Homo-oligomer: A and B are copies of this chain.
Amino acid sequence: MLYSMKMMREMEHRIEKLYRQGKIVGGVFFGRGQEAISTGSAILTEAEDAVCPCHRDLAAFLIRGMEPWVIFAHYLGRRDGPTRGRDGNTHMGSLKHRIISYISSMAAIVPVANGVAFSFQYRKQPNVVLCYFGDGATSRGEWHEAMNYGAVFKLPIVYLCNNNKYAYSTPTQRQMAVAHITDRASGYGMPCRRVDGNDVLAVYEATQEAILQARSGGGPTLIECETFRMSGHSAHDGAEYVPKELFEEWAGKCPIARFEKVLRERGLLTAEEIARMYERIAEEIEQAVQRAEESPFPDAGELLDGVFADSQAKNPQAAASPAKGN
């Protein structure tokens, strides 16, 4: 888990650098300070489970097996990315990895994630879905419809909210008149848990329990992971609206540093081993970026491929069909 968190952190640093260099265009979002959430949960998925990560959950992509170079290729708009250059930043999906792509409309993925969970239920497969979203997204109607729907049908799904205290520039107290996202779960009749989202072990334990319940037909759980967005909303946002003290306070709660400490204290990894792991990560990233930059841009001739099935080209990075006839 330390590896995933650190890999996510460093990849995002590298993505930011590429963005500042003008090599990555459009906008980029980071999950800085929030790495424990996607890591501590996605690590629990089995091969046939599915994840629906949102824009601050890069570790979920990594844990599901999407290779760093493929991710960089995606950000760079290259043909070897899972969208073959059709989409950018965290809008990645891959049937092969059972990563279901979110779309920009916040919370629109939640009803869709329910449908993926439903397919497991329908086919009597013992699998679960992890569905991620932010605090702001819970103000949206689709979120409500989906939470209610998941509870009514007891779908095998775990809803993971990263409460990072802001939706863009808007603090949670302007998003809602309650203190916690979990205050909402009672309206759906599903269990909920609130955990320290910067403690990867706490996320792990809560998710484990929720997955167990979901797999055994007990229905969904809402987990609120309290955390803080240690960046602007996107790379072009300086976040001047965030009080400095908040950044300082939460810097002291870095999930990576905290987990390092746990591992060292429990004698599971030495400082040296950690340093070596980090070196390896740095190297892997450089190799990945290099390989991604060698990937060609898509060709203008591909523009219309795959609007419909009859014009779809094969994409080795994403295309494994999960079932017949699709």
Binding site for B on A (CB under 8 A): 139-145, 148, 151-152, 174-178, 183-190, 219
Contact = CB atoms under 8 A, between A and B. Distances in A.
Contacts of A219: 177
B187 A183 contact: yes
11 contacts: A140-B141, A141-B145, A144-B144, A151-B176, A152-B174, A152-B175, A177-B188, A178-B188, A183-B186, A183-B187, A184-B186
Contact of A145 (B140, B151, B187): B140
A320 to B, nearest CB: 33
B142 A141 contact: yes
Q: Which residue among A175, A176, A177, A188 has the maximum number of chain B CB atoms within 10 Å of its CB?
A: A177
A143 B139 CA distance: 11
Contacts of A139: 145, 148
Nearest to A149: B139
Contacts of A185: 187
Nearest to A182: B187
B189 A187 contact: no
Given A148-B175, A183-B187, 9 more contacts: A141-B143, A148-B177, A176-B189, A177-B188, A178-B186, A178-B189, A183-B186, A183-B189, A187-B187
Contact of A151 (B143, B151, B152, B177): B177
Contacts of A175: 148, 152
Contacts of A144: 141, 143-145
Q: Which residue among A140, A141, A152 has the maximum number of chain B CB atoms within 10 Å of its CB?
A: A141
A148 B178 CA distance: 9
Contact of A189 (B143, B177, B186): B177
A308 to B, nearest CB: 29
Contacts of A183: 186-187, 189
A189 B179 CA distance: 9
Given A144-B141, A145-B141, A178 B187 contact: yes
Contacts of A143: 141, 144
A166 to B, nearest CB: 15
A219 B152 CA distance: 30
A141 to B, nearest CB: 2
Contacts of A140: 141, 145
